[in-house]
Amino acid sequence: MTRIPSALYRLLARFVLSVLAGLVTVSPAVAQSSSEERAELIEAIYPIMIAALEAKQFGRARNICDQVILWEPQNPVHHYNLACIEAQAGGSRLPYALGALELAAALGFDDPGHLRTDPDLKPLHGEARFAEIARRVEHNANASDAISGLAFPSGRPAPSAGTASEPDNERPAAASFQAGRPVGLYWMNRYHSATRALEKSVWYFAPDGTVYRNLQHGYSGAELAAHKGPRGTASLSDRTLHIRWADGAVSAGPLERDRTGFTWDMGIFSAVERFGDASELPGVYSGNGDGVAETRPAVVPQRLTLRADGSFLWEGVSFLPPQGSGPVQIAAATEPTTGRWELREFSLTLTADSGVVVRRFAFPDDDRRTVVNPDRLFFGGMILKRQP
């Protein structure tokens, strides 16, 4: 368990007593009025969470940690501590512990010594996934020092002639804020505490205020008009972003801007950055199967190889033709799929030898401190890790 230093205990006794009773039902909006107030709330309830864990009251500890994650979903320490709680609960909770720990590493947790010696995580030490997570945390801690003498360009190079298809005539608006409201393409991550799942999707905030959630293929006028996912209209009032969806539902919450995007409604929104050159893309990528439909019980590796000659090999998956007006499905399989790939602006098209075509949003998720470029590839809701 990683402990947050206790310095501010200025909460109302009524709130603390409610937490002690297990009634952790405070609305996230209460703690989102300012980062200072959130920090004060968190520092006050962390000792209660730790005490519950030490007393083996795992349900209470989990509820408190879930509340803290709702307030600060981007903080890796909270996900690390949830992993500690689930690991100590043991049994069927161990997979949840590994999932929370993987998310902590993905968000930048960088204390490998604490990770390896923390007694709360001892139940995970025999798991192969734990060794991989430990390597990722070690990488987080050492990457900047290991390549501190290397200089990196401030931006990606412009596309080179002949290395990618000509861009679409219509391009998305550049990521920015207009009158305080976000505009542009954003990649959203949101942690759902009830299912321990991390939602990953592409959102487009159009200049006219229209919001398109979970875009799959593109952003041209025709593709936005044909979008079957949620869409709504955004407005900003007193630093609160409201989205009224087409079905009448309204999502609202404080909008907090940061260096790379913003946080809103428990989601972390990062501006999408396209590949500067198609020559960046060739390589071998592996994933954990997220976004791949399971069509048979066999467990097979899923590894995507994109070659510089424009061909691809995707081990462990097949492309299923659309049923009616439905989309092409990427499904688990024992036989690989081969074909040709093409990068076009923010999308990657895979054309299988069978003729089935899969086109999805694709963009890099890169850590500039490393020599690997990109470190990960986002493709149609999947995060594929590039192999060295």
* Residues 25-49: tens digit of each pLDDT: 444 444 444 566 667 777 778 888 8
* 13-144 topology per CATH: 1.25.40
Closest CA to 121 of 148, 137, 97: 97
Query: How far apart are the C-alpha atoms of 35 and 180, rounded to whole Å?
Result: 19
Domain ranges in the chain with CATH number 2.40.128.300: 278-386
**Amino acid (1-letter code) at residue 385:** K
Query: How far apart are the C-alpha atoms of 299 and 374, rounded to whole Å?
Result: 27
Contacts of 48 (CB under 8 A, 6+ apart): 16, 19, 20, 64
Predicted pLDDT of residue 74: 79
Predicted pLDDT of residue 301: 59
Predicted pLDDT of residue 170: 59
Long-range contacts of 207-216 (CB under 8 A, 24+ apart): 207/173, 207/178, 207/183, 209/181, 209/233, 209/234, 209/235, 210/234, 211/243, 215/361, 216/327, 216/360, 216/361, 216/380
Helix/strand/coil for 284: strand
* 21: Cα separation from own chain's centroid: 33
Closest CA to 265 of 247, 287, 250, 280: 250
* 176-271 topology per CATH: Lipocalin (2.40.128)
Is the distance from CB of 311 to CB of 341 less than 8 angstroms? yes
Is the distance from CB of 78 to CB of 86 less than 8 angstroms? no
Is the distance from CB of 107 to CB of 79 less than 8 angstroms? yes
Predicted pLDDT of residue 322: 78
Instruction: Sort 48 into a burial class: Cβ within 10 Å, 0-12 / 13-18 / 19+.
Output: middle
Predicted pLDDT of residue 306: 96
Query: How far apart are the C-alpha atoms of 270 and 188, rounded to whole Å?
Result: 6
What is the CATH architecture of 278-386? Answer: Beta Barrel (2.40)
Predicted pLDDT of residue 31: 40
Predicted pLDDT of residue 211: 96
Q: Which residues of the chain have pLDDT under 50?
A: 5-33, 144-169, 294-299
Is the distance from CB of 378 to CB of 236 less than 8 angstroms? no
What six digits make up the tokens of 143? Answer: 């990457």
Q: In whole angstroms, how far apart are CA 306 and each of 227, 286, 386?
A: 28, 11, 11
**Over the range 294-332, which residues count as b (16 or more CB within 10 Å of their CB) and which as e?**
eeeeeeeebbbbbeeeeebebbbbbbbeeeeeeebbbbb
Query: How far apart are the C-alpha atoms of 95 and 228, rounded to whole Å?
Result: 33
Closest CA to 313 of 272, 341, 347: 341
